[in-house]
Structure 1
Amino acid sequence: MKQGIHPDYHPVVFLDSATGFKFLSGSTKTSGETIEWEDGNTYPLVRVEISSDSHPFYTGKQKFTQADGRVDRFNKKYGLKDANAAE
């Protein structure tokens, strides 16, 4: 293997900003922030927006910001009624 071409892996604590979930993992990321981990050692802290603790795929909680589709929004906007809807 060539020397000097591989990144430097070191332990880093990742913090999910949404839930406060923290985990320790090896990474090439660096940070100016540090945090003391459960083992008493201090590690660089990298803040992330989404982790397995907050992602809908892993939590099973889907966020539905928009319930109706484009056709329904168009009809609602222009006051049209669905001819197939049961009244």
Structure 2
Amino acid sequence: MKQDIHPKYTKVTVTCANCGKDFETRSTRSSIKVDICSNCHPFYTGKQVLVDTAGRVERFKKRFAKATSQSK
């Protein structure tokens, strides 16, 4: 392998934006921030949590209701 062409592989802290949990891993980046981690993800916790971003669910339901009422 060529010398001095590979990035530095160091320990970094990964921070979850949702629950605030920190854990350590190795990466070429200086820090990593994730939206959701295994500590708060519904698949791993077994709890269903609806994450509604800016009313997207309501907009979908409204469009779906309009489409079904027009087709009848």
Question: What TM-score, normalized to structure 1?
Answer: 0.50
Relative to its length, the structure with more strand (as a share) is: 1
1:18 positional shift? 0.6
For 2:42 and 2:7, the matched residues in 1 are separated by: 32
Q: Percent of pairs identical after alignment? A: 39
Q: Cα–Cα, structure 1 residues 63 and 13, in superposed 2: closer, same or farther, change >3 Å?
A: same
Question: 2:39 pairs with 41, 53, 75, which one?
Answer: 53
Structure 2: unaligned runs, 5 residues or longer: none
Q: Cα–Cα, structure 1 residues 47 and 80, in superposed 2: closer, same or farther, change >3 Å?
A: same
Relative to its length, the structure with more helix (as a share) is: 2
SS of equivalent residue, structure 1 residue 63: coil
1:48 positional shift? 1.7
Matched, 1:78 2:64: no
Pairwise CA RMSD: 3.2
